[in-house]
Chains A and B, each alone.
Chain A
Amino acid sequence: MAARWLAALKTPAGAVSAAMLFLVLAMAVIAPILWTGQAEEINTRAILQGPSPEHLIGTDSLGRDLFFRLLVATGLSVKLALAATGIGVTAGLVLGVVPSLLSRRIGRLVTAFVNIAVAFPGLLLAMFFAVIFGVGQTGAVLAIGLATAPSFARLTQNLVATQSERDYIAAAKLAGVGKVQRLLRHILPNIAEPLVVTATIGAGGSLLAFAGLSFLGLGVQPPAYDWGRLLNEGLNDIYVNPLAALAPGLAVVIAGLAFNLVGEAVAETLGTPMPVSGRGAAPQRVPQASTAKPYTAAEPSTDGADSKAVLTVRDLFVSFPGPAGPITPVRGVSFSLARGEAVGVVGESGSGKTQTALALAQLVEHPGNVSASRLEFLGQDQLSSPSRARRQLLGTSFAMVFQDPMKSFNPTMRIGVQLAEVAQRHLGMNRRQALARAADRLRAVRIPAAERRLRQYPHEFSGGMRQRAMIGMGIMGNPDLIVADEPTTALDVTVQQQVLRLLSSIKEENHVAILLISHDLTLVAQVCERVLVMYAGRIVEDLPASDLAGRGMHPYTQALLAAVPDMETDRDRPLAVVPGRPADPSQVPVGCAFASRCPKADDQCTREDPQLVEREDGHRVACWHPSRGTGRERVSVELKLHAVALQGEAS
């Protein structure tokens, strides 16, 4: 937490506002000690004077120096504002936390009370309290404090409620940690940051509110004085000496801004994730595609028949700026897809498979950078063509299916309208034709009662139906390529089969190419003819799906297959294990990215990154020691020995 606050101070806005706040606080402490004498010295010979070198902003009706009064008033103004904030925060915290500690009924009562209090305007509340507690400092502090309490209580309640639902609270409950301990040790530390930020901003607000109350005569009473009081007194003579009123106003603005800006600056840094620091070696800087050497040795055999290819990708790179140099989730991916071909992309999280898909769909978000030596879709160069032509082609011939269709449909629009939009925009149909086409497409993806379904909203569809509708939207035009990114991961197994069957029947009937992205090898093998195995942003193996079981050559492919249990796995043996952790795209080693987890790795592997080389017809491997035919059992023995060796090294 301290690190984040320090990081906030390093931003320009943070540094300036922190300096301002420091000045204000320092003045609040020092000024009353140093200058109270000067500020309260009555000089009847210098009444109501204008600015002069002697009295920088003039004097008041008793001849007291206004400049010194202004400085000394900082003390009381800030003190009262902080006191009010303290009361507000304490009361708010108590009210916010109580519902989680007491019985449900009392908790509900407190919540209802807070809700009503929040709806009550703050200033009105303050004036109401001022009447109860009497006009004066105490009343005003209590009034402003209690007026800020409800919104703080509401915030605390919400934060506590969100944290309470997290599993670690359930785990603490199971470990026998009591309610109060759970609150103090688990919940409060995790909600402290937003609360402190809000309190800081709140202090600025209290300062302003206090100046307002004092100005109205409801706050500080003479002979005491704060900025609001000075403002009030100065206003009487604003035509004689405008500075007497403007200066305290300016002081209020500066101090209020200081509090608010510090709060905002910290809030902003809290919103951005902290850079991970101190973890191992510096990441390898990956050259951009323009400087990367082309993978000439690894051109696939389909190259000659490019006229038939739906998609051709050469040396695709996707990179994002990171705190320690660019992070490159995709590092030189090359493949092509023929018409009507289904290719699977398999990899774990961080392997770059999703970023590859997004790059193909031209959906990589802003700071990301996509480059390639060649990226062609249906013969159109996706790197240099005008964006309108690209959009037109992608809109009609390219379909994308995401993991969570709930996020890819607009929840406020009917399914039919969303489907029809595609046909209206890209196929030039009118609304009626488009809706008729939409109904036809829903029937094509086997959604019963298509006409009725068109009028429904996305939330009225079940997960599987929504995914079908998404695919239906993809085939509104006559796509030549469907890219499906984990289309069945969010679905139950029985529904999974339905969606996969649908995809493969669309492929058969319409001769569409499919790029199916998944973490599940077996699932991909069900639908695809060819599988690309990705690891740390590279394709490490490109093989026919029929070769997956037992004929994979890359140790990673073999290990993946051995590590995942299926219905034939021997229950009496331990599962094969891939030692180490999955690749981290921000820390790619110099040599083969899999070397640290590979049982076959040697010096060459850690020094040099192997290229994707064609070993036999239609089978490319990026490995210095490819081998075939190691059965599941042998792989698991190799991996286990390797894991033991690694453990030995570590200890």
Chain B
Amino acid sequence: MSELRFEQVSVRFGGRHGMTAVDGVDLTVPTGQVVGLVGESGSGKSTLARAAAGLTPLTGGQILFNGQPLRPKRGERRPLQMVFQDPHSSLNPRMSIGESIAEGIPRAGRGGAAGRRSEVQRLLGLVGLDPQRAFSYPGQMSGGQLQRVALARALAGQPEVIIADEITSALDVSVQGTVLNLVRDLQRELNLSMLFISHNLAVVRYVADAIAVMYLGRIVEQGPAEQILSDPQHPYTKDLLAAVPSHRSPSLTPVNADPAVQAVNDAEPTDPHHLPSGCRYHLRCPIGPLVLPGRDICREVDPASDGNRQAAACHFVGELLTSGKAGIL
């Protein structure tokens, strides 16, 4: 059992004129599953990750690990670990690789210096690095290798949940694949639960069992990966999917014949400091009030996901499937 559950989690920065980066998020990472979290910059996905790791205090709600709040004591095993985006910044440049990894090994139940050394060797082997690398310093290694080290350090804490925050976006494309393969293998081998955050839908699609889509601090849609990808319910998810380029059919998304639809397609991202009333997506929504007349409800009422299959927070989920399809695709 290693389930991570977010219950009505909110994170707010700044005082009166601050902004709510995460707003009432409910999300569950089931045991041994990978949940992919996608969304644009400013959607709050990294804040959610840092909150889960205890690096950012919550303003509201709670984060439960197996039904209990996470409060690890010193020297104990840390069941939740995080891997960061930039490995050059997430490893201390003045500590050897071995020292950095050894730091993550819990003190309890480890047999002294020799035990630590052999554990470091084991972990380096686990992430496919030469155990001799323990004596190298971060400056002597490439980005891909460093990200492996960062993974090894996270694994040193014997975690059950790993939070991976954009772990491949700072890497070169030829190296990205090795890290993704490794993450997938380790996740399956060790039966880890994982929250995998990325802005790259193709990468998320490759590793995730379930996908949650975040927009301006809210999760607007979540469900099994295949369903989200093949049958998106929320217009934002649909727009995201349409924007992903493909090897096979490399062409730009065509200009929409309807000028109103094109106008919302070209609209600026909404400023998270000045959230719109009603549905947060209505200013960019191709089936929203700016395109279809009479949809004032989107301007006025904030849609909540009402327990439907994929939990999409949209007033017109049903209609999207019928009338919406012709309008967008």
Contact = CB atoms under 8 A, between A and B. Distances in A.
Interface of A: 166-168, 170-178, 185-186, 189-190, 276, 279, 348-349, 446, 462-465, 492-498, 500-501, 504, 519-523, 525-527, 545, 548-549, 559-561, 563-569, 571, 574-578, 581-582, 597, 650-651
Interface in B80-118: 80-82, 84-86, 89-95, 100, 103-104, 106
A493 B74 contact: no
A531 B86 CA distance: 29
Given A463-B41, A522-B250, 5 more contacts: A175-B157, A189-B95, A348-B173, A495-B269, A566-B244
Interface string B169-184: 0001111111011001
B301 to A, nearest CB: 24
Contacts of A496: 243
B92 A186 contact: yes
A176 B265 CA distance: 46
B269 A462 contact: yes
B173 A567 contact: no
Contacts of A561: 247
Contacts of A597: 174
A456 B50 CA distance: 34
A402 B144 CA distance: 26
B109 to A, nearest CB: 14
30 contacts: A166-B90, A170-B82, A175-B78, A176-B106, A178-B74, A189-B92, A190-B94, A492-B199, A495-B269, A519-B172, A519-B173, A520-B173, A520-B245, A522-B246, A522-B247, A559-B174, A563-B177, A564-B176, A564-B177, A565-B202, A565-B206, A567-B246, A574-B181, A574-B185, A575-B180, A576-B177, A577-B177, A577-B181, A582-B175, A651-B130
Contact of B252 (A500, A520, A560): A500
Interface string B251-284: 1110100000000011011010000000000000
Contacts of B199: 492-493
Contact of B184 (A463, A520, A574, A582): A574
Nearest to A651: B130
Contact of A568 (B74, B90, B173, B246): B246
A533 B157 CA distance: 42
Contact of A348 (B54, B75, B174, B255): B174
Interface residues of B, number: 76
B326 interface: no
Contacts of A578: 174-175, 177
A526 B153 contact: no
A40 to B, nearest CB: 49
B244 A545 contact: no
B142 interface: yes
A520 B244 CA distance: 12
Contacts of B253: 497, 501
Contacts of B206: 565, 569, 571, 575
Nearest to B41: A492
B116 to A, nearest CB: 13
B158 to A, nearest CB: 11
Given A170-B84, A464-B268, A492-B269, A582 B247 contact: no
B144 A568 contact: no
Nearest to B204: A565
Residue with the highest number of chain A CB atoms closer than 10 Å, among B92, B154, B181, B229: B92
Most buried by B among A190, A462, A522, A527: A522
B239 A494 contact: yes
A176 B75 contact: yes
A67 B176 CA distance: 71
B76 interface: yes
A504 B174 CA distance: 27
Top-3 shortest CB links A-B = A525-B250, A167-B90, A492-B40
A522 B245 contact: yes
A494 B40 contact: yes
Interface of A is mostly: helix
Given A166-B89, A568-B248, A175 B173 contact: no
B202 A348 contact: no
Contacts of A504: 252
A434 B119 CA distance: 68
B329 interface: no
Interface in B121-147: 130, 139-140, 142, 144-145
B265 A498 contact: yes
Contacts of B140: 279
B181 to A, nearest CB: 5
Contacts of B75: 176
B95 A185 contact: yes
A171 B84 contact: yes
A3 to B, nearest CB: 12
Nearest to B150: A171
Q: Which of A170, A174, A177 has the most chain B CB atoms inside 10 A of its CB?
A: A174
Contacts of B76: 176
A563 B174 contact: yes
Contacts of A567: 201-202, 205, 229, 241, 244, 246
Contact of B104 (A175, A446, A564, A565): A175
Contacts of A548: 247, 250
A536 B53 CA distance: 39
Given A172-B103, A174-B82, A520-B173, A493 B240 contact: yes
A522 B200 CA distance: 13
B188 to A, nearest CB: 11
B290 interface: no
Contacts of A177: 103
Most chain B C-beta atoms within 10 Å of own C-beta, residue among A176, A279, A549? A176
Contacts of A446: 266
B307 interface: no
Contacts of A575: 177-178, 180-181, 206
A134 to B, nearest CB: 44
A464 B40 CA distance: 12
B173 A174 contact: no
Residue with the greatest number of chain A CB neighbours at <10 A, chosen from B84, B89, B172, B251: B172
A429 B78 CA distance: 66
Nearest to B253: A497
B86 A175 contact: no
Given A170-B55, A496-B243, A563-B177, A465 B268 contact: yes
Contacts of B202: 564-567, 569
B72 interface: yes
Interface in B55-87: 55, 72, 74-76, 78, 80-82, 84-86
A419 B14 CA distance: 35
A463 B270 CA distance: 11
B313 interface: no
Most buried by B among A462, A498, A563, A566: A566
Interface string B150-162: 1001101100000
Contact of B203 (A170, A174, A559, A565): A565
Contacts of B176: 563-564
A525 B249 CA distance: 9
B125 to A, nearest CB: 11
A571 B226 CA distance: 11
Contacts of B247: 521-522, 525, 548-549, 561, 566, 568
A463 B82 CA distance: 28
Contact of A168 (B50, B92, B142, B203): B92
Contacts of A173: 54-55
Contacts of B243: 493-494, 496-497
A564 B176 CA distance: 8
Contacts of B100: 168
A274 to B, nearest CB: 9
A563 B173 contact: yes
Contacts of A348: 172-174
A343 to B, nearest CB: 15
Nearest to A186: B92
B95 A650 contact: no
Contacts of B72: 176
